[in-house]
Amino acid sequence: MRLVCMVVIILSLVRVEAVSSFLTDGKNKTSTSMESKNKELDDMSILRQMINQETIIRLALVKNFHALVNDVIVLKQSLAKSEWKISELQRAVTSLQKENRELKKSSSSSDSRIMEEEKRQFYFNKTNSVLNDVKIEVRYLSATLLDFKERTETENESRDKKYEELQRHFNSSIADLYVKNSQIKQDVTSQTALIHGFEDSQSKTKRAFLENLNRTTSNFETKFQSFKNEQLKLSTAVASLELANMNMSKSNCENSRNHAFSAGISLGKSVWTGGTLVFPVVIYSEGTGYNPSTGIFTAPTAGTYVFYVSVQSAHQKLIYLDIVLNGSAKVRAMAWYNSGSSVNMIQTGTNLVILHLQTGDKVWVRRGGGDGYYSDGYHITTFSGFKLF
C-alpha cells in the first residue's frame, strides 16, 4: 500500500508540473520541461531502488523462514532420537539391576561355602607351623613399622619414600600370607583324604588326634586373635601416619598460600651509583621470599605477583629505578629533575607491575640511571610486593 501511494503522489506531481509548464512562456516551458524530465528520472530511479530493496528483503525473509523450518525439523528428529535412547538406557538399567540382584544371591552362597571351607582348615596338624610363620612375619612387620615411625620423626624430608617402602613390604607380606593360605587349603584337602582312608583302622588314634587337635585349635584361635589384634594395631598406626601426613601437607599448603612484603630505606644517598638497590628495613612481611640483606625477592611458589616501587630523587638530582625479573627490566620509575641549580626541588617516581612467576624466580630493584635518592625514617623510598593468586 505504501508503494502504491508513493507512485500516485509521484504521478500527481508530474501532472502538476506539466500543467504549470504549459501555462508559462516558451523559455519557461523549455526549462520547466527539462527540470520535470530530470525529476521524473530521479523519481523513477528512487522508485526502482525501493522496489529492489523490498524484493531483497522479501527474499531474505523467505530464506530465513525456510531455514527456521529446517531447524525445527532437525530438532524434532533429534528429540525423537533422544527419547528413544532414554528408553533404551532405562531398559538397560533394569536389566543391570536384575543381574546385580542375581550376583548378590550368588555372592551370599559363595560366602557361606567359603566360611565352611575356612572352618575345616582349623582341624589339621600344620596350623602350628603356619602360625609360627605368621607370627614371625607380624614381628618383622612390627619392627619395620617401629623403625619407620622413628625415622619419620627424625627425617621429615624422606617420610614419603619410607612410607611407600613400608606399604610395598606390607602388601608383599599380605600376598605371601594369601599364598600360604592357599597352600594350607591344599594340605587340608590332602589330609582329609588320608583321614577318611584310615578312619576304620585307627579309632583310638583318632580320639587322641582329636584331643590334640582341640588343644591345637584353641591355641590357634588364641594366636589368631592375637594376630588380629596386632594387625588392627598396625592398621591404626598406618591410619595415624596417613592422618599426620595429610595434616602436615595441609599445614604446608596453608603456610605457603600467602606471600607479601613491604620494605623501605631509612637513609638517603645524594650520590649513589650502585646496581641493586637494597631495602633493608622490613615494614611488613608474611610468608617467605624477600631477603632484606640482598633486596631480592625469590618466589616460594608459582603464581601471579604484584610489585610496586616508589623513589624520591635527591636534591636537584634525577634517578631511574627498574623492577627486574631474573635480570630483565620490566618497568621503570623515573624521578626527573631539569629546572636549573637555582630551584630547590625534589621529584617522586613510582611504578607498578604484575608478573607471573615460577618457583625460584627472582625480582629486585636496579638502578637504570641517575645518581642519588632521598629517604628518611618514614621510609619515603620503598619496594613492595604480594602474591595476587
Confidence (pTM): 0.37
Least confident of 112-116, 145-149, 305-309, 330-334: 145-149
In this prediction, what percent of the chain has a pLDDT beyond 70? 76
145: pLDDT confidence band, cut at 50, 70 and 90?
A: confident
pLDDT digits (tens, 9 = 90+) for 154-177: 776 666 676 677 677 767 767 777
8 A C-beta contact, residue 260 and residue 387: yes
8 A C-beta contact, residue 40 and residue 14: yes
CA atoms within 13 A on the CB side of 255: 8
The span from the CA of 307 to the CA of 161, in Å, is 38
- Residue 140: in which H helix or E strand, if any? helix 127-154
351: closest CA among 311, 389, 387, 298? 311
Please state the φ and ψ torsions of residue 136, each to the nearest 5 degrees: -60, -45
pLDDT digits (tens, 9 = 90+) for 59-112: 988 888 888 888 889 888 888 888 888 888 888 888 888 888 888 888 788 788
